[in-house]
Amino acid sequence: MKRYILLRLLFIPFFLLSISFSFLSCDEDSTSPDVQAILDDLFPLVTGRTIIYGEGTLLRNDTQEPISGTENGFTSQWEVGSNMTLPYLPYTNPVVILDITSVPAAGISNSPRQFFIHKDTTNGNFDFLTNLGYLFRSQKIYNTPGDSTSGIESDSLIWIGLSKSTEGVGKEWVAYTANYTSATLGVIRFEIVGMFERETLTLSGTNYDTYKLTATRKIYLGNSTTAVSIGTTAILWLAPNIGPVKIILIGDGESHGKSQTMTSRNF
């Protein structure tokens, strides 16, 4: 799969002391009776629907700082494709999203990328397929913990749960928590939390009442209950019956991220 930009979704790498981390899979829903689940369809996966992002920029590694000049001529589009057959359990029949981006200042012209989404039609939650390769490489996480001769952990493609309509607005949920043995830091606990807020955006003269989804990473050392690093890793503004109308994805130590804003759509 060709990657011109490291775009991890819900999707996305995370940073700790010059070390990046990525989203992992989600735990079971913990919706309590007082939570009002989001009933709006935050990203209709209708084949052929295309969102055009005619405004955007690349972001410097590990930051939200725009790379000067990359906004000139920036264009990107996300097209909803059909269901694909993949070997990655438990979701082997996800929908493919086709991302084609041009950034003239970076020498990128109509560069294609695919990513995959599984949508639970009963509750609106989404899962995304992502690659943890940079986490494993940067932290020297081996196939056999502590044994460098076993090679860097190779099972890097996983499904992650990020968008949880079942948790409603204003309630932070734990998307994932897991321990890894790093040859650099020892045992680390990697945690991702998410939360929806409401925010109105005005794009091309039109107001969109969106659900603003913020993903935050927290890193703990050993058995500590105090995070040694906390930071935003991605923000998506999801408009009901449309999808992501604005996106900020943070890059990592190897790749830059990008920010992009919808300017038109074909539906």
Could you report the per-residue pLDDT of 38-47, keeping only the tens digit for each?
999 999 999 9
Q: Please tell me the pTM assigned to this model.
A: 0.84
**Run of H or E including 265:** strand 264-265
Percent residues over pLDDT 90 in the chain = 66
Structure tokens at 84: 């694909």
Distance separating alpha carbons of residues 74 and 101, to the nearest angstrom = 8
The domain that holds 215 is classified in CATH as: 2.40.360
- The answer as to whether 261 is a domain residue is yes
236: left (phi over 0), alpha (psi -120 to 50) or beta: beta
- The answer as to whether 258 is a domain residue is yes
* Per-residue pLDDT band at 53 (split at 50, 70, 90): very high
Whether 73 contacts 67, CB under 8 Å? no
Kindly tell me if the per-residue pLDDT of 142 is higher than 50. yes
Lowest mean pLDDT among 13-22, 70-79, 88-97, 102-111: 13-22
Q: Which residue has the higher pLDDT, 31 or 121?
A: 121
163-177 in b/e burial notation, b at 16+ Cβ within 10 A? bbbbbbeebebebbe
Does residue 19 sit in helix, strand or coil?
strand
Structure tokens at 143: 């196939």
The domain tally of the chain equals 1
Radius of gyration for the chain, computed over Cα atoms and rounded to the nearest angstrom: 18
Kindly tell me if the per-residue pLDDT of 107 is higher than 80. yes
pLDDT in the model for residue 2: 36
Distance separating alpha carbons of residues 231 and 15, to the nearest angstrom = 8
- The answer as to whether 253 is a domain residue is yes
Domain with 209, as residue range(s), is 13-265
User: Among candidates 127, 126, 86, 81, which has minimal Cα distance to 100?
Assistant: 81
pLDDT in the model for residue 222: 92
- The answer as to whether 214 is a domain residue is yes
- The answer as to whether 204 is a domain residue is yes
**Run of H or E including 137:** helix 133-139
Kindly tell me if the per-residue pLDDT of 48 is higher than 80. yes
pLDDT in the model for residue 32: 53
> For the chain, what is the largest distance between any 2 Cα atoms, rounded to a whole number of angstroms?
58
* Per-residue pLDDT band at 117 (split at 50, 70, 90): very high
- The answer as to whether 177 is a domain residue is yes
- The answer as to whether 135 is a domain residue is yes
Kindly tell me if the per-residue pLDDT of 49 is higher than 90. yes
Distance separating alpha carbons of residues 267 and 265, to the nearest angstrom = 6
Question: What are the DSSP calls for 146-206, one per residue?
Answer: T-GGG-B----EEEEE---GGG-SS--EEEEEEEEEETTTEEEEEEEEEEEEEEEEEETTE
Structure tokens at 142: 């081996």
- The answer as to whether 5 is a domain residue is no
